[in-house]
Every structure is written in structure tokens, then in C-alpha cells.
Amino acid sequence: MNSTRTRRVLVAAAGVAALALPLAACSTGGGGSSDGKTEITFLVPNSGTNVESAEAMIAAFEKENDDITVKVESQPAGTEGDNLMKTKLATGEMADLFWYNSGSLFQALNPDQNLAPLTDEAWVGDMQDTMTAVVSTDNGIYGAPFGATQAGAVVYNKKIYADLGLEVPTSWDEFAANNEAIKAAGITPVIQTYGDTWTSQLFVLGDFGNVLAQDEDWASEYTAGERKYVDEPALAGFANQEAGFEAGWWNEDFASALYDDGARMVATGEGAHYPILTGIVSTFQQNYPENIEDIGVFPLPAQNAEDTKLTVWLPNAVYVPKTTEGDKLAAAKKFIAFINSDAGCDVQNTAMVPSGPYAISSCSLADDVPGLLKDMQVYFDEGATNPALEFLSPIKGPNLENITVEVGSGIRPAADGAALYDEDVKKQAQQLGIDGW
């Protein structure tokens, strides 16, 4: 679920970059200064509402900083955008600051060589540790978050839980017990929507926070070819999905149901649990506003409660290339600081649709956000989060969603699915030219 390569449904999951749009890059201005003002350019992906969000932030910033003008440039997201980023940095043609992925795609930009360090900026100490890790190298911190997080977790119906006297599970056995009680009450325990195949991946991808809790070196060793999905703790994601099918927890139409069906079912109480990205909150707000406070969220439970962590997709970040110097560098840093100030946070809360808490303590969710987001905040406050694998490793096999459909449909055993995915991963790592494969 790379944040610039996700499918159409993830466009609704605000906070993660959207599907690439094959549009030509456009620019609304260049560098230099006019009328005594310092003028800087800000490059953003042209997917979703990114340009509109950037323009709203610029308007608020310029209102407080009348000596600086910020001009928006845009370009495609996705693979085309990745290549454009690398080319612009290599040729010295990058905008004065730019909005791009955090995590493994950020690392692919060769930040130590190409980016200006922001390590000494005042806002750095406010970032969550999980965010700091995905915008830094051993030599410094290079990015600041712009946007909110989202999580791969279990969205659930609170009314069902209240009616049946259930408590939020913290271990897999507790989750299984809840599902059996829900099934006995004649309600679908777990919603699956394999008509949109990408949704089948959540049992594996949303479990990664739990994997990392058990093996903190898993991501780096996986990238080096030393960790496999066929082995525990990573095998658990496949095994749990197999267990759910065998227990009869799924909705009858799981093979053909779509993402929108899953949203409806959990919102209206047709089903109790839906493992999904929390960006689904925007669908709830639009289509089921009367049910929005009936919906909560908790992490996919690990086998042991102490290993249960919320798996988080971190926001994109804003970076400055080394080619930005002098007054432009000072202006760019001032703009980044504004993004993560109280005023900048207000813009993010109004111009963007948060799909989770912010990754920096200087920015807080508004008081009137849905309860689902407030549920997530508790895990952030308690330090019970870990980043999704894609932020720690560039390797993700393209066939995972097809494999998890098979495992979740009883077509392929969990161990076989994991082994097949390890082969898928190996091919992709070799294509990327990563050592150890």
C-alpha cells in the first residue's frame, strides 16, 4: 500500500498520498523576489486535494508573513512523480521546498546528498518518534510532517459491543472470543470485501506493528533478505486470516462485496468488525453521518497482548533541497515551521480531512472529530504504535492482494500463501537491485 501507489479507494483515505494521475506538471511561478519580497516555490503532487491543501496553507502563511511569497508547482504522483523527484534533485532543478513521501521512498532520494538538514529547527522535538524515524538518516533530520496519519486496524461497531457486553480485545484469543459471541447473536463478526482485492491485505499489513513489537530488527533484516513471511512472527497475519475463514466469521458475500459495502455494514451494524485503513472515516462522514459515533477502532490484536500495536501509515513530509540557499532557505524553513504551528494546524484541520492523529505534538485534532479518531489518539499517547512496513523497507511484492484473497477464501493455506509471497518479494527485491537477494 505504497502511499503514492494505492488504489482508488485509498484516495479517500486522506493522509496517505493518492493514486497517480497522468497529468503534465504545471508551474505557477519561479524563484527570485519581487517588490522586496522573497519568493519561493513549493512542489506538491497533483493527486487528490493536495494542491488545494497547499494553497490554503500558503494563504494563511502569507497573511502572517507579508515579506514572503510562496508559489505552487505541481507534478504527478506515483512512479512518474518518483522519477521526476530524483531527476530534479540530480539536475539542481528542484523547487525551493517540496511535499513528498516519508519512509522508504524518502530514503531513495539520497537525502544526505540532496537535502538540507532541518535537525536544529525548533519543531523537531515535537515530532513523534515514529515520524522522526521515517524522515531522517544517521546524519540528520530532513523533513516535517504535513497531514495526518492513518492506521491499518479493526474498525468496529460500538453499539454491537455495548449490546453484547463486549470489551475491546487486546489479544487474538480475546478477539476470537468476541467474534464467537457476535456470531452466536446472528451478526457477521468480521466483514471482508474481496470484490476490492486490496482490502484483503489488512490482516497481513495491519499486523506489522505487532511483528515489529516482537522483532525490532525485522524490517531491516527483511530488506537484507534475512526475514521471511513463512516464519513467525510475520506468518501470524496469514494464519489469522486463515483462522477467520475457517471459523466462519466472514459475511456470506465476502468474495464479491466492495469497500463501500464494508463501510455500510460496519456503520449500520450489519457486521461488527472491518479490518481496513482508517481513512474510511471520510466515507462514514459523507455517507453515514448519523452512525459516525457508533464506530470505533482498535489494532489488529497480536497473539499476546503485550505485542499489540497500532500499525500506522505516516503522513508525507515537506523537505528542502540543498540547492535552496540564503533568503530562500530562511523563507522555506519559516514556511515549514508555520505548517506545524497552531495556525498551520488549524489549516490542516479545516482544509484537509484527518484520517488519524497528527505525527507531531504541536498539531492536535479538533475537538469535534469523530470518536474513531479519538480512539486512535489513545494509542499514540501511550506510545503503542509502530510504522507500517512500507515506511521501513522499499520491498513489497505486487501480488500480496491476490494471495491474501486466496488465503482469506480458503483456497490456499496460510503457510503456502506466505511462502508464495516470499517468492513474490524475492522477485521484486531482485528487480530493485537490493543486496542479499
Q: In this predicted structure, what is the pLDDT of residue 45? A: 93
Quickly state the pLDDT bin for 190 (edges 50, 70, 90).
Answer: very high
- Bridge partners (DSSP) of residue 154 are 275, 298
What grid cell was written down for 271?
457486521
Buried b (16+ CB within 10 A) or exposed e, 87-109: ebbeeeebbbbbbbbbbbbbbeb
User: How many other β-carbons are positioned within 10 Å of the β-carbon of residue 22?
Assistant: 7
| 267 vs 283: CA distance, rounded Å | 10
| 45 vs 214: CA distance, rounded Å | 36
Does 321 have pLDDT greater than 80? yes
| 314 vs 196: CA distance, rounded Å | 23
DSSP-assigned states of every residue in 194-209: TTSGGGGGHHHHTTHH
Which tens digits make up the pLDDT trace of 83-137?
A: 999 999 999 999 999 999 999 999 999 999 999 999 999 999 999 999 999 999 9
Q: In this predicted structure, what is the pLDDT of residue 115? A: 98
Please check whether residue 65 is in contact with residue 332, taking contact to mean a CB–CB distance below 8 angstroms: no
- Report whether the peptide linkage leading into residue 394 is cis, meaning its omega lies within 30 degrees of zero: no
Q: What backbone torsions phi and psi does residue 70 show, to the nearest 5 degrees?
A: -115, 125
- The dihedral sign for the CA sequence 112, 114, 118, 120: positive
Residues 6+ apart with CB under 8 A from 379: 151, 299, 309, 310, 385
Please check whether residue 263 is in contact with residue 284, taking contact to mean a CB–CB distance below 8 angstroms: yes
| 418 vs 55: CA distance, rounded Å | 44
What grid cell was written down for 7?
488504489
Does 7 have pLDDT greater than 70? no
Which tens digits make up the pLDDT trace of 342-400?
A: 999 999 999 988 999 999 999 999 999 999 999 999 999 999 999 999 999 999 999 99
| 172 vs 300: CA distance, rounded Å | 8
Which tens digits make up the pLDDT trace of 368-381?
A: 999 999 999 999 99
Quickly state the pLDDT bin for 6 (edges 50, 70, 90).
Answer: very low
pTM of the model: 0.87
Nearest Cα neighbor of 258 from 247, 245, 274, 244 is 274
Buried b (16+ CB within 10 A) or exposed e, 396-429: bbeebbbbbbbbbbeebebebbbbbbbebbeebb
Give the 3-state secondary structure of residue 10.
Answer: helix
Please check whether residue 97 is in contact with residue 43, taking contact to mean a CB–CB distance below 8 angstroms: yes
User: How many other β-carbons are positioned within 10 Å of the β-carbon of residue 314?
Assistant: 29
Nearest Cα neighbor of 232 from 216, 215, 217 is 215
Mean pLDDT of 51-67: 97
| 317 vs 16: CA distance, rounded Å | 11
CA angle 127, 210, 348 (to 5 degrees): 30
| 332 vs 70: CA distance, rounded Å | 9
Quickly state the pLDDT bin for 34 (edges 50, 70, 90).
Answer: low
